[in-house]
Structure 1
Amino acid sequence: MTDPFPVLDLRDAAGSKETRAQFLNRLRVAVHEVGFFQLVGHGVDDADDMLDLTRRFFALPETDRLALNILDSPLFRGYSELGREHTKGIPDQRLQLDIGPEQPARPPAPGDPAHQCLIGPNRWPGAMPELRPAVESWIARLTDLSHRLLRLLLESLDAPAGFLDDVVDPDPQIHLKLLHYPGPARTDEEAGNGQGTGIHNDLGLLTLLVQDGAGGLQVAVEDGRFVEVPVIPGAFVVNLGELLEVATRGYLRATKHRVIRPAPGVDRYSIPFFYNPRLDATMQPLPSPYVAASGGVVADADNPLFALYGDNVMKGLVRSFPEIVARHHPTLAASAGSKSA
């Protein structure tokens, strides 16, 4: 494996027949061998502006940020302090603002599925009115980019490009986070175990990440060896979720990754965007010769995937935000038992 994080230029997909074929082949190799790549030439040119907005949000007085406290949100939206979200039961050392699809509030009705609680409005800082239109524009453009990339990915597998259109249209379950990883104040025990975000796989379809120059994103390649993803200004780091791995019998890889907490006095900012099926959608195996010949994973006993995507989302939230579940969704907490950690 000579290049674990190849750089793909999306403009090549619109080039000559030969150039497009080369792009699709490189895309297929990247998502099969590692599950991560870097995307340039995508036409979204305001990543630096979005990172600057992220810095400005986390520079707001704590009272303004806590006015959006995620503990007050049954929709799992809003601001989280250090250690609020957990990965495999261990608190992540990052601050964050969680944002989902902007939709009207809908009171739950008897018989509604659990994932119905995720439908509703976001929480925006009154002290920073420019944040909402910027984030909503970013989400709209990344949704379009993700859908285009998903279709290209299917084409690279010799599957019908629109095979998953019905899974995501018309309301993909998108999720965006503004993240701030502050380095510890000193080099002693305050650094803890060095976990910014713990080792995990992403759940859904595609993740597009913008990271600043601090680095720290590490991916498990080959025999579990972690390698840091280089920072390329303006590039999206793209990786796949577990649903695509299972739908392709393991031919595509949902690779484990983590973020190492920055050194003392260093701050890291990033913006991950998660593109996922509709909450009420189910995945189907992809009709692809590569998938048919693959004998890889179709299930994970330690992390079972449900047919309905909304059930998978709720499983992840129960594990990641036990305090919110206990406060707003006690029935979920009780049914999850030890899995809520």
Structure 2
Amino acid sequence: MAEKDFQRIPILDYSSLKYPDKRRDFIAQLQHALLNVGFLYLSNSSIEMKVVEDLKSYIPRLFNLSKDEKDKVRMSNSPHFLGYSRLGSELTKGKVDYREQFDFGTPHVCQWRPGDSEYKRVWGPSQYPDEDAIPGFKDTFEAYLHQISELATELIRLMAEALGLSPESLSKFYDTKEKMQGLCKIVQYPISPNPSISQGVGPHYDSGFLTILLQASSHPGLQVQNLSNEWVDVPPIPGTFVVNFGRALEFVTNGLVRATSHRVISPPMGSTSPRYSVPYFHNISQDVWINSPQSRLDFPREILELKEIRGDLTRTDSINFSDYETDVSGDVYLNGRVKSHPDVAQKHYPERFKKFFPEGLPAQGMAY
């Protein structure tokens, strides 16, 4: 099943797990995606399509809220980096990302207490628009968050099995449910106003173990980078999610699992509507140091041989999250949020802000 390089993204049928013979094929396909691609489509998932369609119906209304309503939930209000970010507020590789977004977390009570590590303060309650402004949105979105986080938890078990480990082998990187929070963005990529603006978001890796993306409109734009540094399109396929693996998982498996660089191209001039997407990031525990001996995973020889067949991963221009080698996960996460949203950091994490922005507040954050 392994390919020297990929030119397409595999499609895995989640419903096949119900049948023993098809389940073996699913695990084999998942193994291929983990080692050789870093991305997959997931069809027939456990997410109720009514929940998905209800959420999709709200997204244009969310971005059509008035400036005053959006400002009420500006991210700078929140020490948890949750809330609204205006169009063009982030950079990747020195270029403006032409997108606006809302960041929400799974429901969570902040665990931080005075004297705790600063990163413990990052996770906490979300900011939602007023119910009167967009009735029913919060309930609809939290129903989606519950189901997508449950799917991610089950995928983590399946990923362990595909890597020749026991299903619970990756559980040591997670805490109890009340101490965990996932991050979910709702993103709008507006139609490009001129041909020189095409970067919806520039080339980057995701930082954690697992991302599940709902491509919530019919627009293409997502592209992933193969071993030859070619860009491969990942167009929306109705009824599917896109799953990809992050740098934390690549580090903790010593490069066995492949994190894959990806980007989004803005809808070109002449498009009829923006591109919408909803990425969910399944975070690992804040206290994990993935470079510690306690985090080491022991893989069967036959799995390690597959890595040798594939060869080493190529270097790209995308950020590599090398601070995973020296810092606990919570600090890596906080550092990334500070760099992406310096206005929030200046207000709520002033010392951390000065570390990364000694010259003061920049016009945009350094996303990725």
- Structure-2-length-normalised TM-score: 0.84
Given the alignment of the two structures, is residue 179 of structure 1 paired with residue 183 of structure 2, yes or no? no
CA distances 1:248-302 after superposition (whole Å, capped 9, x unpaired) = 12121110000011112541001000001122234323221256554757x9987
CA distance in 2 between counterparts of 1:121 and 1:282 reads: 25
Task: Name the structure 2 match of 1:288.
Answer: 299
Per-residue displacement from partner, 1:25-75 (whole Å, max 9, x unpaired)?
111011211100000111312323222211111122222112111122221
After superposition, what is the alpha-carbon deviation per residue over 1:209-250, rounded to whole angstroms, capped at 9, x for unaligned?
A: 011211100100131111110211120100001011111121
Percent same amino acid at aligned positions?
Answer: 32
Are 1:86 and 1:321, in contact at CA under 8 Å, matched by a contact in 2? Answer: no
- Alignment counterpart, residue 354 of structure 2, candidates 325, 334, 339: 334
4+ aligned runs moved over 6 Å, structure 1: 299-302
Aligned to 2:338: 318
- Taking the aligned partners of 2:237 and 2:231, their CA distance within structure 1 comes to 19
1:326 is displaced (CA, Å) by: 2.0
> In the alignment, which residue of structure 1 is the partner of 2:172?
166
CA–CA separation in structure 2 for the residues paired with 1:158 and 1:322: 41
Match of 1:31 in 2: 34
**Structure 2 unpaired stretches of 5+:** 360-364
In the alignment, does 2:219 pair up with 1:208?
A: no
Q: Where in structure 1 are there 5+ consecutive unaligned residues?
A: none
* SS of residue paired to 1:176: strand
CA pair 106-248 structure 1, distance change in 2 beyond 3 A:
closer
Cα root mean square deviation, aligned? 2.4
SS in 1 for 2:139: helix
Q: Which residue of 2 aligns with 1:273?
A: 280
Deviation at 1:184, TM superposition (A): 2.7
Residue 101 of structure 1 contacts residue 174 of structure 1 at CA under 8 Å; is this kept in 2?
yes
Counterpart position of 1:118: 122
CA-to-partner distance for each residue in 1:122-173, whole Å, 9 max, x for gaps? 1111112411111111111111101111111110111111012232232333
Q: Aligned equivalents of 2:321 and 2:102: distance in 1?
A: 29
- The number of residue pairs the alignment matches comes to 334
State the Cα distance separating 1:338 from its structure 2 match. 7.0
Q: Secondary structure at the match of 1:277?
A: coil
Q: Distance in 2 between matches of 1:6 and 1:180?
A: 26
Cα deviation per residue 1:188-221 (whole Å; 9 max; x = unaligned)?
5xx43x1111110000011000112111001001
For the Cα contact (< 8 Å) 2:7–2:232, is it kept in 1?
Answer: no
Q: Distance in 2 between matches of 1:165 and 1:244?
A: 13
In 2, Cα distance between equivalents of 1:75 and 1:35: 29
- Aligned residue type for 1:303: S
Name the amino acid aligned to 1:277: I
CA contact (8 A) 2:209 2:249 kept: yes
Cα distance in 1 for residues equivalent to 2:120 and 2:181:
12
